Copies of this chain bind each other. A is one copy, B any other.
Amino acid sequence: MNTYGIVFRVSLFGESHGHAIGVTIDGCPSGLSLKTGDFKSDLARRKSGSKGTTPRLEGDLPEIISGVKDGFTTGAPVTVITRNAEMDSSVYNDVLATPRPGHADFVAKVKYSGFSDHRGGGHFSGRITWGLVVAGVIAKKILHPLRIGANIIEAGGSKDIDSAIEAALKSGDTIGGIIECKVENPPVGLGEPFFYSAESAISHLVFSIPAVKGIEFGSGFASAGMKGSEHNDPIVDETGKTSSNNAGGINGGITNGNELVFRIVVKPTSSTGIEQKTFNFEKKEMTFFKVTGRHDACIALRIPVIAEAAVAIALTDLLMIDRGIHGVRG
């Protein structure tokens, strides 16, 4: 179930400490200009290395192994991979006996009867989102000139994000955050009733990003405390522009042409420097342990570009579905 999409299909593969990770994009139109350099900027934004992110420096150089010839997509599936560099997997030896709380260690052991690759989180690792960002770059090209932008707007409960990171680093603990993502003036009409509403498609993808635990569109959870007369966004002109945007640009599951706005919450990184308790399945008793591997103080810092990729992929697929059924608009 590692594929998302009806017409524009993104498939992810790979494990954190395996040979390589990668992505296949199927349903990509031919004639799209595409070079490895095109991935550089978005992959850099996802990358670790800055303050508050893990010091593991991934090479991450993308290699296009199919679907592109002479700098243009051929119409065949585009597969992009990156080799995993040598890394120290020994720190993960204990996770089968003492599964780390907050991680997928326990569920993976049960689901895959002990055969899953637990090193670095294996296929559950945030590292797998590398391929999502690569697919997002292609989706953004297809949606061009649509502008998609995401930012972290809160970390550790504070709007002063720098200070929050600073404090987290000092404490050795980790913090969560909130990301806001906006799409400027999308076309009217993307999204399908009943089961591929724009919100369904976007949330489906967004909840594939490890550590995301919530999403809200427009005024979101605050809507519960609003009146209908207050929440409804009055239409003010023939293009469907509204004078407020509590709907976050979506009515009835369909984009209404106004700015698409959603926020996602990212839990604090599960690997924290603080001593924790878990069950030791060998000794059959509770035990204390401390994560010694590298980790991000605030994994949310790396999520904005992944959220952009998620919404770009979702909208591209919805665009192709709508175009498939109804032809090109206006």
Contacts and interface: CB of A to CB of B under 8 A. Distances in A.
A286 to B, nearest CB: 7
Interface stretch (A43-51, A52-60, A143-151, A223-231): A223-231
Interface string A68-92: 0100111111110100000000000
22 contacts: A3-B3, A7-B7, A15-B66, A15-B76, A18-B65, A27-B325, A31-B112, A73-B115, A104-B253, A111-B322, A154-B224, A176-B224, A197-B207, A200-B207, A201-B204, A213-B223, A228-B271, A228-B274, A230-B268, A232-B272, A238-B279, A323-B327
A35 interface: no
Given A13-B76, A176-B225, A279 B235 contact: yes
Contacts of A31: 112-115
Contacts of A189: 107, 110-111
A3 B171 CA distance: 48
A317 B65 CA distance: 28
A74 B116 contact: yes
A304 interface: no
Contacts of A208: 193-195, 197, 200, 253
Interface string A134-175: 000000000000000000001111000000000010010111
Interface residues on A, range: 35 or more
A220 B110 CA distance: 25
B194 A265 contact: no
Nearest to A218: B213
A323 B326 CA distance: 9
A269 B204 CA distance: 25
A62 interface: no
A268 to B, nearest CB: 4
A86 B104 CA distance: 43
Residue of A7, A115, A177 most packed against chain B (CB within 10 A): A115
Interface in A247-269: 247-248, 251-256, 265-269
Nearest to A252: B104
Contacts of A19: 63-66
A277 B234 contact: yes
A219 interface: yes
A22 B79 contact: yes
A42 interface: no
Interface in A16-44: 18-22, 24, 26-31
